[in-house]
Chain A
Amino acid sequence: MSEPSPTSAPLSDQVMIDMQGVHKWYGTFHVLKDINLTVRKGERIVICGPSGSGKSTTIRCINHLEAYQRGRIMVDSQALTNDIKQIERIRREVGMVFQHFNLFPHLTVLENCTLAPIWVRKLPRQAAAEIAMRYLQRVKIPEQANKYPGQLSGGQQQRVAIARSLCMNPKIMLFDEPTSALDPEMIKEVLDTMVALAEDGMTMICVTHEMGFAKTVAHRVIFMDGGEIIEQNAPALFFSQPESERTKLFLSQILHH
Chain B
Amino acid sequence: MADPHVPHPDLPPPASAIGALGWLRRNLFSSPFNVALTVLALYLLLTLIPPLLRWALLDATWSGDNREACAANRGACWIFIRVHLDQFLYGFYPEAQRWRINTVVLLLLLGAAPLFIRTVPAKLKPRLGLGLLLVYPIIAIVLLKGGVFGLVAVDTSSWGGLLLTLVIAGVGMTAALPLGVLLALGRRSDMPAIQTLCVTFIEFWRGVPLITVLFMSSVMLPLFLPAGMNFDKLLRALIGVSLFQAAYMAEVVRGGLQAIPKGQFEAAAALGLGYWKSMLLIVLPQALKLVIPGIVNTFIALFKDTSLVLIIGLFDLMNIVHNATTNPEWLGFSTEGYVFAAAVYWLFCFGISRYSQNLEKRLHTGHKH
Give residues in A with beta carbon < 8 Å to B. 63, 65, 84, 88-89, 91-92, 94-96, 98, 100, 102-106, 115-116, 119-120, 148-151, 164-165, 168
User: Please, how many angstroms separate the alpha-carbon atoms of A151 and B368 in the complex?
Assistant: 11
Give residues in B with beta carbon < 8 Å to A. 261, 263-264, 266-274, 277, 281-282, 285-286, 289, 363, 365-369
Of the residues B267, B281, B289, contact of A103 by C-beta under 8 Å: B267
Number of A-B contacts (CB under 8 A): 76
B342 → chain A, closest Cβ, in Å? 38
B267 to A, closest residue via Cβ: A102
User: Please, how many angstroms separate the alpha-carbon atoms of A115 and B281 in the complex?
Assistant: 9
B190 → chain A, closest Cβ, in Å? 11
Instruction: Give 7 CB contacts A-B under 8 Å.
Output: A63-B270, A98-B270, A102-B263, A102-B267, A104-B264, A115-B282, A120-B277
Are A168 and B272 in contact, with the CB atoms below 8 A? yes
Are B273 and A120 in contact, with the CB atoms below 8 A? yes
Chief secondary structure at chain B's binding surface: helix
Q: Which of B271, B274, B365 has the largest count of A CB atoms less than 10 A from its CB?
A: B271
Are A98 and B263 in contact, with the CB atoms below 8 A? yes
Are A92 and B366 in contact, with the CB atoms below 8 A? no
A-B complex: 5 closest residue pairs judged by Cβ atoms: A150-B367, A105-B367, A102-B267, A150-B366, A102-B263
Are A88 and B366 in contact, with the CB atoms below 8 A? no
A74 → chain B, closest Cβ, in Å? 18
A164 to B, closest residue via Cβ: B271
Given contacts A100-B263, A102-B264, A106-B286, contact A150 B365 (CB under 8 A): yes
Q: Which residues of B contact A106 (CB under 8 A)?
A: 285-286, 289, 363, 365, 367
A85 to B, closest residue via Cβ: B274
Q: Which residues of B contact A116 (CB under 8 A)?
A: 271-273
Are A120 and B272 in contact, with the CB atoms below 8 A? yes
User: Please, how many angstroms separate the alpha-carbon atoms of A91 and B268 in the complex?
Assistant: 10
Q: Which of B270, B273, B368 has the largest count of A CB atoms less than 10 A from its CB?
A: B270
A90 to B, closest residue via Cβ: B272
A206 → chain B, closest Cβ, in Å? 15
Are A94 and B286 in contact, with the CB atoms below 8 A? no
Q: Which residues of A contact B286 (CB under 8 A)?
A: 104-106
User: Please, how many angstroms separate the alpha-carbon atoms of A157 and B264 in the complex?
Assistant: 14
Q: Which residues of B contact A165 (CB under 8 A)?
A: 270-271
A66 to B, closest residue via Cβ: B266
User: Please, how many angstroms separate the alpha-carbon atoms of A84 and B275 in the complex?
Assistant: 10
User: Please, how many angstroms separate the alpha-carbon atoms of A202 and B273 in the complex?
Assistant: 22
Q: Which residues of B contact A120 (CB under 8 A)?
A: 271-273, 277
B127 → chain A, closest Cβ, in Å? 14
B266 to A, closest residue via Cβ: A65
A65 to B, closest residue via Cβ: B266
B110 → chain A, closest Cβ, in Å? 29
Are B281 and A119 in contact, with the CB atoms below 8 A? yes
Of the residues B267, B282, B285, B367, contact of A98 by C-beta under 8 Å: B267
User: Please, how many angstroms separate the alpha-carbon atoms of A105 and B368 in the complex?
Assistant: 9
B269 → chain A, closest Cβ, in Å? 6
Are A104 and B267 in contact, with the CB atoms below 8 A? yes
A100 to B, closest residue via Cβ: B263
User: Please, how many angstroms separate the alpha-carbon atoms of A94 and B270 in the complex?
Assistant: 8
User: Please, how many angstroms separate the alpha-carbon atoms of A106 and B269 in the complex?
Assistant: 17
Are B263 and A65 in contact, with the CB atoms below 8 A? no
A150 to B, closest residue via Cβ: B367
Given contacts A98-B263, A149-B367, A150-B365, contact A104 B282 (CB under 8 A): yes
User: Please, how many angstroms separate the alpha-carbon atoms of A148 and B274 in the complex?
Assistant: 24
Are B271 and A91 in contact, with the CB atoms below 8 A? yes
Q: Which of B264, B267, B281, B369 has the largest count of A CB atoms less than 10 A from its CB?
A: B267
Are A148 and B267 in contact, with the CB atoms below 8 A? no
User: Please, how many angstroms separate the alpha-carbon atoms of A106 and B273 in the complex?
Assistant: 17
Q: Which residues of A contact B285 (CB under 8 A)?
A: 106
Given contacts A88-B272, A96-B270, A120-B272, contact A151 B366 (CB under 8 A): yes
Q: Which residues of A contact B272 (CB under 8 A)?
A: 88-89, 91-92, 116, 120, 168
